[in-house]
Amino acid sequence: MSKLNPVNLPGITNKRSGKKTFQKIIRNYDLYIFLLPAVAYIIIFHYVPMYGVQIAFKEFIATKGILGSPWIGGEHFRRFFNSYQFWRLIKNTLGLSVYQLVAGFPLPIILALMLNSVNNNSFKKLVQTTTYAPYFISTVVLVSMMLIFLSPRSGLVNKIIELFGGTAINFMAKPKLFKTLYVLSGIWQNTGWNAIIYVAALSAIDPELHTAAIVDGASRFKRIIYIDLPGIAPTIIILLILNIGHIMSIGFEKVYLMQNDLNITSSEVISTYVYKVGLGGNSLYGLPNYGYSAAVGLFNSVINFAFLLVTNKLSKIFSETSLW
């Protein structure tokens, strides 16, 4: 007759815990006030724009606003998929991020392993502190430094080329060199910073593993391969997932600043295109079109999100490490 036992009736238990929850909320009312600014911010500047992304499916008319503008279905998307820009943008965006990932991702791991193997502590500290300094240089300054060093007239790199009998190269004007310049400057700026997290992970490895391996006669190099690397593998996988998840979201600022009319064929990526067709007033792409620009942006976000879900799933299957 357990059915009649009032304690087991779901309604009553719910009511009780409901009351308890309510009391908890009342008791902690000030915590919700603490949360208020952050929640207001996230709703206004992140969720309202997500709602506003519906203009991607509308013919945006300024006087009618987002809600009043007429629906046009997938018209903007059709226009984007059929435009001559489409494949070029995909190729440039993917090309740039894959290049960056392949060339840039292993280097912080290698740097961290090298730093971790240094016996002299002050030398280690010196190298570590200086290598992550460039991270704090602004994009504007970084790109200016590139222009200065690569200038065909007075740039240091060209002076060195000339010293060895070569002829000066106008680096920034060559579409073929754009991706390499982008990736190399990124490596210069970010490798030291990205290594910090691996250095931290390495310092958490139990030193007794090393002591035992030394007793067994393992060389320093062997210990890196068999102790250090496996020890930081979960960190590597998490960061790899995050990086692949952002594979289509190449940062706007540096690409935009490095662009010029001569390298545009290989330097136009989705984020710069979204800016130019939406707000840029670039004569190349006609009048600014909010709806079209939002559609291209939405396409990019969806692809990114899909990438993240897939990589996270794959990683869960193969390595039991995942973001959530």
Query: Would you count residue 188 as binding another protein (CB under 8 A)?
Result: yes
CB-wise, 100 or 194, nearer to another protein? 194
- Which residue, 268, 288, 270, is CA-closest to 278? 288
Query: Would you count residue 273 as binding another protein (CB under 8 A)?
Result: no
CB-wise, 83 or 289, nearer to another protein? 289
Cα–Cα distance between 210 and 119 in angstroms, integer?
A: 14
CB-wise, 81 or 123, nearer to another protein? 123
What three-state secondary structure class fits 210? helix
The answer to whether residues 233 and 320 touch, using CB atoms and an 8 Å cutoff, is no
User: To the nearest whole angstrom, how small is the minimum distance from the Cβ of residue 128 to another protein?
Assistant: 8
Say how many CA atoms lie within 13 Å of 286 toward its Cβ: 4
Which structure tokens are listed for 84? Answer: 């001559």
Query: Would you count residue 112 as binding another protein (CB under 8 A)?
Result: no
The answer to whether residues 259 and 147 touch, using CB atoms and an 8 Å cutoff, is no
Cα–Cα distance between 139 and 255 in angstroms, integer?
A: 10
Among 126, 233, 310, 314, binds another protein (CB under 8 A): 126
Among 13, 14, 211, 301, binds another protein (CB under 8 A): 301
Considering only residues 219 through 258, tell me which ones interact with another protein, judged by CB under 8 A: 219-221, 235, 245, 252-253, 257
Among 89, 96, 111, 255, binds another protein (CB under 8 A): 111
CB-wise, 9 or 51, nearer to another protein? 51
Considering only residues 70 through 109, tell me which ones interact with another protein, judged by CB under 8 A: none
Strand (E) positions, the chain?
none
Q: Which residue has the tokens 């996988």?
A: 237
Query: Would you count residue 118 as binding another protein (CB under 8 A)?
Result: yes
Query: Would you count residue 209 as binding another protein (CB under 8 A)?
Result: no
H or E segment and range at residue 192: helix 175-203
Within the chain, how many helices (H) and strands (E) appear?
Answer: 18, 0
Among 72, 101, 177, 196, binds another protein (CB under 8 A): 196
Query: Would you count residue 192 as binding another protein (CB under 8 A)?
Result: yes
User: To the nearest whole angstrom, how small is the minimum distance from the Cβ of residue 5 to another protein?
Assistant: 28
- Which residue, 284, 275, 288, 296, is CA-closest to 60? 288
From 3-11, 32-40, 70-78, 92-100, span contacting another protein (CB under 8 A): 32-40
Among 71, 84, 136, 318, binds another protein (CB under 8 A): 136
Query: Would you count residue 114 as binding another protein (CB under 8 A)?
Result: yes
The answer to whether residues 255 and 272 touch, using CB atoms and an 8 Å cutoff, is yes
How many angstroms separate the Cα of 175 from the Cα of each of 103, 170, 287, 303?
19, 11, 26, 26
If binding means CB under 8 A, how many residues of this protein chain bind another protein?
Answer: 88
